[in-house]
Chains A and B, each alone.
Chain A
Amino acid sequence: MPNLPSSKQEKISTIQALLTVTSTVYAVAIVSLPRTIAEQTQTPDVWQGLLLASLFGLGAVFINVKLCQRFPGKTFYELNSVIAGKFISLLINIAFMVYCVMICSVVSRMMAEFIKALALERTPVSMILLPFLLLVGYLTSGGLQAMVRLVELFFPLTFIVYLLLIILNINHFDLDNLRPVFHQGWRPIFKSLQVVPFSALGFESMLILTNFMVNPQKAWKAGGIGYSIAMALYVLMVTMVIGCMSVEEVSRLQWPVVSFAQQIEFPGAFLERFEIFFIILWTIKIFMTAANYYFYLVAGISQLTQKWNGYIYYLPLIFIFALSMYPQNFVVMGNMDKVSGYFGMIICAGVPLVLLLISMVFRIRGNPDGKP
């Protein structure tokens, strides 16, 4: 492989791929998801929609893994030119990269708004974004290995905080808040599916990661388990938030999970305010998501330009910075969120499905040894 010299040689283990998928998925929407779902359903039927979306996402993971396994040693960027031809593959690649830029920008902007509202009222959003994006660039300059190692390092930490958040709230949990189930039939659930896609995204990691793995045949295991863990954490969080605070209250709060963290009462001096830990957890989580998508983007650029150098690590940050500064208010941000969610559905689930079908019908395969 002439491209990606710094990352191609270093393979990642199954557990690293698993945790990377988990960290890509489970992050962004966690603060606002209970509200966005509750707004749509207006009934306590919040978890079913999410569960449906996870099943759909698992299917997408399966498609992505199967597609990549047909072409050993190739990333999504490389394999689609074999199936779809040069011109169309260029379009697909650019679309995928635009999608990565969009997600990265939305995610970073949401982080900045969150930090601004909770911790830094007087700091401009751009100044909050700037060091964050530079840090993303710095991590990416270490290549894929640095990224997956950081995920491994921070995952236990964030997981512990997450569990504490759930466990310490258990005395607020009231099953009545989650009842009645299905009393308006399936309608609210399908309604909630309008907002869920953005949170269910992340399965596209397998498009890139599968063939970086030491054992690509275990990709389905890694992707499936990793994705399931993330979605399980999502469902648990949303259910707990609704269960502790009721649908009416949740749909009125901008970030219900923050209030969820604030209501923890912990006897003892420093732990009294649990939201401090939540802010740390969430920032780290978002950093990981942004860095993952940014790496997928950089991998694509180096694929198109056949280069891997210092400019690629930092130059695309300008686009991301510009795009993340574009929304003037939460409404525009919400729309951007929605657009990138639907766009992602097409690019990361629809297109791979079509490609997989084409390659199966026409029996297109890569060489088993990974040589082009």
Chain B
Amino acid sequence: MESSFEANLDYLKKTLGHLPDIVFKKMHAGQPGIDVAMVYLSGIADTGMLNEHIVKPLIATGIRERHPQINPEKLKEELIQQTAFTISTKEAKDIETCVIEVLSGNTCLLIEGNDEFFVVSTGKFPLRSVEEPSTETLVRGPREGFIEDLESNLAMIRRHIKDLSFKIDKIRIGRRTSRKLAVLYISDIANPKLVQEVKRRVESIDVDDASDTGIIEQWIEESSWSPFPQIQASERSDKAITALMSGRVVILLDGTPFALIAPMTFWMLAQSPEDYYERFPLGTFFRLLRLTALFIATFLPSLYVALISFHPGLIPPELVISIVSSREGIPFPVFVEALIMEVSLEILREASLRLPKGIGQVIGIVGGLVIGQAAVEAAVVSAFLIIIVGLTAIASFASPQYSGSIGIRLLRFPIMIIAAIYGLYGVILAFIFLGAHMVQIKSFGVPYMSPLAPIRLRDQQDTLVRVPFKYLKKRPLMLKTQDETSANRKRR
């Protein structure tokens, strides 16, 4: 028995000994003295906590018990009983886990004559405080956003779900960083096949590091070549909870405030939690508005190019006259003109994003107002095009999903090019292509365009429109949930 204690300690010394802040402390507990070794990194472990909750009780053991003889079994029990009140202590399976625990700031305890390892959570890292999420702000609704710490994020969700079937499965990810990743689901709502598939895919990831769920997302999604996000990313805890309740699976990763929600459908690009917090006509109206905005953001510049350069006859003559007169003296063809404006808009957007908030606004004013005005006056671009480009830019911000709107920003350019070649026919082809593409992609087995294609009549109550809660009693059919009813159950 003794040999395994020493051997383990030697192994730890060998593997961790080169670290500058590693501490190996040996102490005697009880009267005859059972050796207890503590291994931790002084840089990231909270030594005050260690002192207070581990060292003190251990020293006190012998004195309080007044038993000269103390065996390792008793000590183990003592350790778990006495310290578990205050901080979490758990047994580790093997020494490899111990090494990782020590590297993540926890303290490993080895007891002489006992083969087990004990890990005390002593890791203490600087945490950001819980703030309102900066990417998905709402007027009405909870202001709680995830932070970079996994445990705090789990706490935020757990605080609101007091359900016995709420399951959290933790695994470690990253060959070198070994980050904690949690898969969350409600075991009697979510489809077990979905949960299994999510876990299978997450476990199959083999990377050195995944510093954001964006990397996880790209490893586990079905179609990597698609410009559309197939897994929803969100920093909102209420969004994650709603998703869990509808039978979806949430993935949280240590080190990032973005949770992943799977499966996702296209229509979720136009949905926001606010649709539920406001009364139903508003929720419906906003959804249709956002879909219109998505359409405008994708097709408006290319429609402009197509109609002006190929078919001015298809738009009302008065409008043609005003557009043509505003284009007078402009040296470029419509396509080049539109391309210049769209590219400069993207540059402007990218530039103002990277700068501190105060300067970013200045860039916006200088770029948007001053250059825009000057460009029109200098007859480089037409005033009408400024309207088109401005409208497109505003429309692309209307989607509550950032990753969806950047996909569409990207799509705009190829569609403009095909519109410059084929005119309206090109825009129609692009439209058909997008349709043909989106019906082919899936998110964890759920078709991306469902519940419209394939059509699920029941799910129409909460897709394009949002019916009053009185009628919204069923969970989405497309998720094939175990428990179908979500509200107003019939009493027996």
A residues contacting B by CB (< 8 A) are 13, 15-16, 115, 119-120, 123, 128, 131-132, 135, 138-139, 142, 145-146, 148-150, 152-154, 269-270, 272-273, 275-276, 279-280, 283-284, 287
Is A135 a contact of B429 with CB atoms below 8 Å?
A: yes
- Given A119-B310, A119-B311, A280-B428, check contact A138 B316 (CB 8 Å): no
Q: B469 — which chain A residues lie within 8 A by C-beta?
A: none
Q: Report A282 CB to chain B, min CB distance, Å.
A: 9
Q: How far is the CB of A284 from chain B (nearest CB, A)?
A: 6
A10, chain B: closest CB distance, angstroms = 10
CB neighbours (8 Å) of B449 from chain A are 149, 153
Instruction: Chain B residues near A115: list those with CB within 8 A.
Output: 425
Closest-by-CB residue of B relative to A287 is: B432
- Whether A119 touches B439, Cβ cut-off 8 Å, given contacts A150-B453, A272-B316, is no
By a CB distance below 8 angstroms, the chain A residues around B437 are: 138
Besides the known contacts A13-B454, A131-B426, 19 further A-B residue pairs in the complex with CB atoms under 8 A apart: A119-B311, A119-B424, A120-B423, A120-B425, A131-B422, A135-B429, A135-B433, A135-B436, A139-B440, A145-B439, A146-B440, A149-B447, A153-B435, A153-B449, A270-B315, A273-B313, A273-B316, A279-B425, A283-B428
B193 smallest CB distance to A (angstroms):
16
How far is it, in angstroms, between the C-alpha of A135 and the C-alpha of B424 when the chains are bound? 16
Residues of B within 8 A of A150 (CB): 435-436, 439, 453
CA gap between A78 and B454 in the complex, in Å: 27
Least CB separation from B440: chain A residue: A142
Please give me the 8 A-B residue pairs with the lowest Cβ-Cβ distance, nearest first: A149-B439, A142-B440, A149-B453, A153-B453, A152-B453, A139-B436, A146-B440, A283-B428
In the bound complex, how far is the Cα of B438 from the Cα of A145, in angstroms? 12
Contacts of B139 in A (CB 8 A): none
Task: Return the contact of B424 from the options A15, A138, A145, A276 (Cβ within 8 A).
Answer: A276
Is B429 in contact with A120, judged by CB distance below 8 angstroms? no
Given A120-B310, A142-B440, the answer on whether A135 and B432 have CB atoms closer than 8 Å is yes
Instruction: Name the B residues within 8 Å of A139 (CB-CB).
Output: 436, 440
Looking at chain B's contact residues, the main secondary structure is: helix
With known contacts A128-B425, A131-B429, A275–B314 Cβ distance under 8 A: yes
Residues of A within 8 A of B436 (CB): 135, 138-139, 142, 146, 150
Instruction: Determine how close the nearest CB of chain A comes to the CB of B21; give it in whole angstroms.
Output: 56
Whole-angstrom distance between the Cβ of A311 and the nearest chain B Cβ: 19
Q: Does B319 belong to the interface (CB within 8 Å)?
A: yes
Q: Residues of B with Cβ closer than 8 Å to A?
A: 310-311, 313-316, 319, 418, 422-426, 428-429, 431-433, 435-440, 447, 449, 452-455
Considering the complex, give the chain A residue whose CB is closest to the CB of B455: A152
* Nearest opposing residue in chain A for B428, CB measure: A283
Residues of B within 8 A of A269 (CB): 316, 319
Contact of A152 with B314 in the complex, beta carbons under 8 Å: no
B439 touches A120 (CB 8 A): no
What CA separation (Å) do A270 and B424 show in the bound complex?
15
A112 (CB) vs chain B CBs: closest residue: B425
| Contact (Cβ within 8 A) B439 A142 | yes
Chain B residue at minimal CB-CB distance from A279: B424
Bound together, the chains give a CA A192 to CA B235 distance in angstroms of 65
A287 to B432 CA separation, bound complex (whole angstroms): 8
Within 8 Å CB of B435, what residues of A?
150, 153-154
Q: How far is B316's CA from A149's CA once the two chains are assembled, in angstroms?
A: 35
Which residues in B have their C-beta under 8 angstroms from that of A120? 310, 422-423, 425
Residue of A nearest to B311 (CB): A119
Identify the interface centre among B313, B316, B428: most chain A CB within 10 Å of its CB: B428
13 contacts between A and B (CB under 8 A): A119-B310, A119-B311, A123-B422, A131-B418, A131-B429, A135-B433, A138-B433, A142-B439, A148-B454, A149-B439, A153-B439, A276-B311, A279-B428
Query: Which residue of B has the minimal Cβ distance to A131?
Result: B429
CA distance A120 to B423 in the complex (A): 8
B residues in contact with A13, CB < 8 Å:
454
Instruction: Give, as a whole number of angstroms, the nearest-CB distance from A138 to chain B.
Output: 6
Report Cα–Cα, A279/B422, bound state, in Å.
14
Cα-based distance from A257 to B312 in the complex (angstroms): 21
Residues on B with beta carbons closer than 8 Å to the beta carbon of A16: 454-455
Q: Is the CB of A284 within 8 A of B433?
A: no
Chain B residue nearest in CB terms to A282: B428
Give A272 to B316 CA distance when docked, in angstroms: 6
